[in-house]
Homo-oligomer: A and B are copies of this chain.
Amino acid sequence: MSDTYFHPVSGFDLPRFAGVPTFMRLPYVPPGHERFSDVQIGLIGVPWDSGTTNRPGPRHGPRQLRDASTMMRAQHQFNGTRPFEAANCADLGDVGPNPADIMDSMDRITTFYNEALAAGIMPLTAGGDHLTSLPVLRAVAKNGPVGMVHFDSHTDLMHSYFGGTMYTHGTPFRRAVEEGLLDPKRVVQIGIRGTMYDEEDRDFAKANGIRLILIEEFHARGVEDVMAEAREIVGDKETYVSYDIDFVDPTFAPGTGTPEIGGPNSFQAVQVVRELAGLNIVGADMVEVSPPFDQSGGTAFLGVSIMFELLCVMSAQM
């Protein structure tokens, strides 16, 4: 049972459009705050998109996600989970990136996450483009490779771009495997689709034992069957969850830089998270939400709805 200090403000008391917007209307507890070490799940923003090869924007993601998150309430309608009672949750603030220096930014991110992990805080990240996951994994998997359930329309397993550039939002998991942060045999990528340049990323996946589930297979088998396999792949060892919003069909999530049509709808988008219950999750992220391409704000609203589902699963582990 959580400390009431960590309970979000209710919309019955303060209308949801009022107040300084923190994630889920939780208290703001940045590093150095006196209650920092009491936090169990920390929501962290990484406003950074320097790894983006096409349309930028996710640097604005955390702020819009905070705004939309004020629409979330206290209890899951279907399964009754009350995540903010199950665990001490807080908004840890944003990692301050260096928009003009990728390597410096990655160091800043890893440093921040190391501090949170040292305080016993499990991170739930609001990105940022998908390169964000690499410096986060450098902290999370510091003691050895973890497994990963990865929702995305792209593998992000490319070798390099533009004649040798190694760090982009299309390469994080190639690097993570190379750096020993991910155990490729415990990695499953779900929802892969869209046109391809070539098969280089798929060759890498095949060579290393990463399981790709194309969207055609996803639609044919259904959520439950696919997720049962995913659970089996990662097993009961430490697992990271990485959720790229472009996993969802771009009509449901237009606010992203590299959309691919034909994806899951918003109900399936949360169903897959519910099926993660019982895994040994060590961290999760929601990335590639890009406000400049999200005129109605619907993408951010979907993003925080998914983050709430992730919180339900993560808080149940406490």
Contact = CB atoms under 8 A, between A and B. Distances in A.
Given A94-B18, A197-B12, A56 B57 contact: yes
B18 A21 contact: no
A157 B259 CA distance: 35
A231 interface: no
Contacts of A263: 266-267
Chain A: interface secondary structure?
loop
A56 B293 CA distance: 12
Nearest to A105: B162
B100 A250 contact: no
Interface in A40-56: 45, 47, 49-56
A130 B251 CA distance: 24
A312 to B, nearest CB: 10
Interface stretch (A172-180, A187-195, A238-246): A187-195
Interface residues of A, number: 93
A186 interface: no
A165 interface: yes
Contact of A17 (B14, B63, B74, B269): B63
Interface of A: 10-22, 28, 45, 47, 49-57, 59-60, 62-63, 66-67, 71-78, 91, 93-102, 104, 161-163, 165, 167-168, 192-199, 214-216, 219, 249-252, 254, 258-259, 261-263, 265-267, 269-270, 292-293, 295-296, 298, 301-302, 305, 308
